[in-house]
Structure 1
Amino acid sequence: MKNENNWFDRHDWNTVLRDVYATTPQQVEQALARSRRTLDDFKALISPAAQAYLEPMAQLSHQLTQQRFGRTVQLYAPLYLSNECQNICTYCAFSLDNKIRRRTLTDDEIRREAEAVQQLGYEHILLVTGEANQTVGVPYLKNAIRLLREYFAQVSMEVQPLDQPEYEELISEGLNTVLVYQETYHQATYRNHHPKGKKSNFLYRLETPDRLGRAGIHRIGLGALLGLEDWRTDSFFTAAHLQHLERTYWQTRYSVSFPRLRPIDLLENDTITAKSFDRCMSDRDLVQLICAYRLFNEEVELSLSTRETPRFRDHVLKLGITSLSAGSKTNPGGYVVEPQSLEQFAISDERSPAEMAEVIRRQGYEPVWKDWDKTLVQL
């Protein structure tokens, strides 16, 4: 079988890191002047040198986004089905070593949660679980998709990586999109943050989008957890990963998300304590990254979650973002079944979907409640 990691092996982390921070203003200007940009141009646009060019980057990003996506912003909501997890991840409240009460929704509870989300206006859903193959493996996911298809036109998921035949089985049930974040592309740092569980296998996770591409999934979502490592270098590797996938599985659609590390709650001696992280990127950095992705790839969908503050999300709405979550609950049963259960991470933007839709309209855009790719395919 073809080595799926050729794209990854062609790039050395330390070399990319050095090149990014050695970028000159002239290289940034050359990248901005081009009509089609390369990975080297992306490297220049995420560099510290590009911070002085943020205004022209933002203007061009706005222009390119409107040309491709028009004045529309897609809204989505996650539905957490379980906080069971067999992995230890240092940044996640669902980590195996966090002694929280574990919860997996039953069929009736899934229906109740689905009805609540549907009443918010959504026509598609993102199902999310921890990574526990025995509890929330393929049989559970297959059943959940069947249940959710009664309520939603399109079902996406963000769960543990699976094998290609398992993805094919779920796609046949109506699975449309899979989000799988590498967390960080730096292998040593990855090992430090994932010491136990199937997720500790760096290469298996890295190869997941290829398995999805071969399985024929409609859309793949990529991303790095911004704050685990140098965000610029991780973002370069995410862009290189995206380029590899687009060239190999050209019929598949792609999205990139920007999950910044958020505080999590830990249970210690029956007391909940908050854990924060100190390597997070600034708001200005994230604006730069969003614009750099749009200048690099005019077709990719760019998504921003409720991890971000209302002020920030309102500000970047016109700069390249094409989808926003709203009214999100990051705990199993969070909408109606058990609202007070422990969240996976802290939410910053607690506005309702209706409030978010009104914000979008006030900025001259139209909120979209269903998957636009599915709509276009049916035309």
Structure 2
Amino acid sequence: MSFYHTYEQLKDLPFQELFSKITSLDVERVLKKDRLTRDDYMILLSPAAEDYLEEMAQRAHQLTVQHFGKTMQLFLPLYVSDYCVNTCKYCSFSVDNVFPRKRLTMEEVEQEAKAIRDKGIEHIILLSGESRMHSSVEYLKECMTVLKKYFSSVGIEIQPMDQVDYEELVNSGIDGLTVYQEVYNEDIYREIHTKGPKRDYRYRLDTPERGCRAGMRSVNIGALLGLDDWRKESFISGLHAQYLQDTYLETEIGTSFPRIRPNAGGFQPNVDVSDKNLVQAMLALRIFLPRVGITISTRENPAFRDDIIPLGVTKMSAASSTEVGGYTNPDDTQSQFEISDERSVDEIRNLLHSKGYQPVMKDWQII
């Protein structure tokens, strides 16, 4: 059994027609319920629900405080390699983009780790381009021998791997996996991933499950918004998160809502996703899945990130660099995407305190 079987049942649904038939009475009925069905979730993603964002925000805030308290976990990404073997139209690391590639040595990994740790951050995500040669299991395990001296939790966002590989990484101390499907629409997926192993839609879709079975403490998924209709993509992503929560009870499931940012290839989004659209997607998911983690990165601008803190977010990045070696040797040669919020960790901490939230620098310890 796999979520792909659920996707096959969903992919040919007439989403536009279904969304257009939803009324304000449907939305009001759903907002009175304690537990939501899949149909209820679709209702909260509909155009009709746009007139109820204030009510949805209040409900989402109440549910988030109930399940997570007024806390916000802070983390940073650590890019160790930008070598990639895939051609993805929207990504700066795509193999077709010509720029000087690099992979950090262990000495450089340690320098980056010290720079991040000096900011007070104890949770990081280890990122790389998708290349089994340059981001091998052995290389990542070597990185972990350095990183676990500095951080209480280390996740990965790399190329999809087999379960046995994830088991090795879990044994090395890695406790989290982030993998975005990018786009759930299988036809669009193949149009924008033109070369490389990433073209295998099914293998990527099943990656979160392999991570869960391998013993990852947390698994984070999501769609890259702007590649297809955001309502449809949010709906399928939410059902994917629900499936993982229901199937892998010991794993903490989280979601993210990344929007396409300027990149080296100059790719323009197929669909515009406004701030209002993104807020609706977040609120609907929080009400549908009260226990799911929600991450917002520095892709989003400061004013927007400030405004959405009470609306369901549980994890934020701060003072991020999306280039390899960017914390100790920023050279502006090539980052994966442009960031929008460049505020320091201290500024984000002060912001959270001013809003009555407790910034969490550590809530897990590698054993």
Matched, 1:207 2:199: no
For residues 238-317 of structure 1, the aligned pairs below 5 Å read 238-266=237-265, 275-277=267-269, 279-317=271-309
* 1:294 partner amino acid: R
Contact 1:39 1:239 in 2 (8 A): no
Partner of 2:24: 25
Shift of 1:22: 2.6
TM-score by length of structure 1 reads 0.94
Matched, 1:123 2:122: yes
Shift of the 337–220 alpha-carbon distance from structure 1 to 2, 3 Å rule, reads: same
CA deviations over 1:305-356 (Å, ceiling 9, x no partner):
0000000000011111111100000000000134423111011000011111
Partner of 2:107: 108
For residues 1-379 of structure 1, the aligned pairs below 5 Å read 2-3=1-2, 5-266=4-265, 275-277=267-269, 279-370=271-362, 372=363, 374=364
Contact 2:301 2:340 in 1 (8 A): yes
* 1:341 partner amino acid: T
Contact 2:92 2:263 in 1 (8 A): yes
Query: Secondary structure, in 3 states, of the residue corresponding to 1:133?
Result: coil
Amino-acid identity (%)? 43
Query: Secondary structure, in 3 states, of the residue corresponding to 2:310?
Result: coil
Query: Secondary structure, in 3 states, of the residue corresponding to 1:134?
Result: coil
CA deviations over 1:33-58 (Å, ceiling 9, x no partner):
11001111111101111000111001
- Give distance in 2, aligned partners of 1:197 and 1:60: 43
Shift of 1:247: 1.4
- Give distance in 2, aligned partners of 1:276 and 1:195: 16
Contact 1:88 1:197 in 2 (8 A): yes
Contact 1:157 1:177 in 2 (8 A): yes
- Give distance in 1, aligned partners of 2:7 and 2:267: 32
- Give distance in 2, aligned partners of 1:219 and 1:13: 31
Contact 1:13 1:186 in 2 (8 A): no
Query: Secondary structure, in 3 states, of the residue corresponding to 2:74?
Result: strand
- Greater Cα shift, 48-57 or 18-27: 18-27
CA deviations over 1:217-243 (Å, ceiling 9, x no partner):
111101000000001101111111111
Partner of 1:271: none
Shift of 1:275: 4.8
Shift of 1:67: 1.1
Query: Secondary structure, in 3 states, of the residue corresponding to 1:136?
Result: coil
Shift of 1:190: 0.3
Contact 1:129 1:158 in 2 (8 A): yes
- Give distance in 2, aligned partners of 1:142 and 1:32: 47
* 1:286 partner amino acid: L
* 1:355 partner amino acid: E
Contact 1:263 1:277 in 2 (8 A): no
Contact 2:181 2:222 in 1 (8 A): yes
Contact 1:58 1:319 in 2 (8 A): yes
Shift of 1:3: 4.8
Query: Secondary structure, in 3 states, of the residue corresponding to 1:76?
Result: strand
Query: Secondary structure, in 3 states, of the residue corresponding to 1:221?
Result: strand
- Aligned structure 1 segments of 4 or more residues deviating by more than 4 angstroms: none
* 2:19 partner amino acid: V
- Give distance in 1, aligned partners of 2:104 and 2:27: 50
Shift of 1:13: 4.1
- Give distance in 1, aligned partners of 2:264 and 2:219: 29
In the alignment, structure 1 segments of 5+ residues that lack a partner are 267-273
Contact 1:104 1:332 in 2 (8 A): yes
- Give distance in 2, aligned partners of 1:68 and 1:15: 34
- Give distance in 2, aligned partners of 1:143 and 1:235: 36
Shift of the 30–85 alpha-carbon distance from structure 1 to 2, 3 Å rule, reads: same
- Give distance in 2, aligned partners of 1:42 and 1:199: 30
- Give distance in 2, aligned partners of 1:195 and 1:231: 22
Shift of 1:16: 3.3
Contact 1:87 1:95 in 2 (8 A): yes
Contact 2:74 2:123 in 1 (8 A): no
- The total of aligned residue pairs comes to 367
Query: Secondary structure, in 3 states, of the residue corresponding to 2:10?
Result: coil
Contact 2:97 2:264 in 1 (8 A): no
Shift of the 118–18 alpha-carbon distance from structure 1 to 2, 3 Å rule, reads: same
